[in-house]
Amino acid sequence: MNNLILLVLHLSLATSTTINVTVGLFLRLSTYDPATNTRLRKGAAWETEAAIAFLAIRHFNERDGSVVPALGRISNCPVHFIPHVFDSQSHPQPTLDAYLRSRFDDAWLPYRPDIAIGASR
């Protein structure tokens, strides 16, 4: 997190134009069963984790300090985060597949993350 803060500060000093930073959120929204090649929904607790991640990004983008007061004190920062969720399926292989597709498949160019957060396993 400290490196991200330093990046934001550096970028805010370097330019006055908006810098869109795509964030890949690799979250556990389902469970993958490789034996049957099926996915089962993880449930509300894991979906809440995704909602909190989106709220944090929204608060950063809007400089809303209602939860984290420091966000309300950011000024002249050109960074704007664009989130994209990738379901890790609670398994390393689908996570790696999604990451590699997002990084190297031109069809996934709009979802290519500049920053990857997760997966939790």
- Give me 65's structure tokens: 């300090």
Q: What is the pLDDT of residues 59-112, one digit of tens each?
A: 999 999 999 999 999 988 999 999 999 988 888 888 899 999 999 999 999 889
pLDDT band per the 50, 70, 90 thresholds, residue 19: very high
pTM of the model: 0.75
51: pLDDT strictly greater than 60: yes
Q: Which residues does 59 contact at the CB level (< 8 Å), separation at least 6?
A: 65, 66, 67, 68, 71
Q: Which residues does 7 contact at the CB level (< 8 Å), separation at least 6?
A: none
pLDDT band per the 50, 70, 90 thresholds, residue 39: confident
User: Given this model, what pLDDT does residue 34 score?
Assistant: 76
1: pLDDT strictly greater than 60: no
Structurally, the chain folds into a number of domains equal to 1
Identify the domain containing residue 74 by its residue range. 2-118
13: pLDDT strictly greater than 90: no
50: pLDDT strictly greater than 60: yes
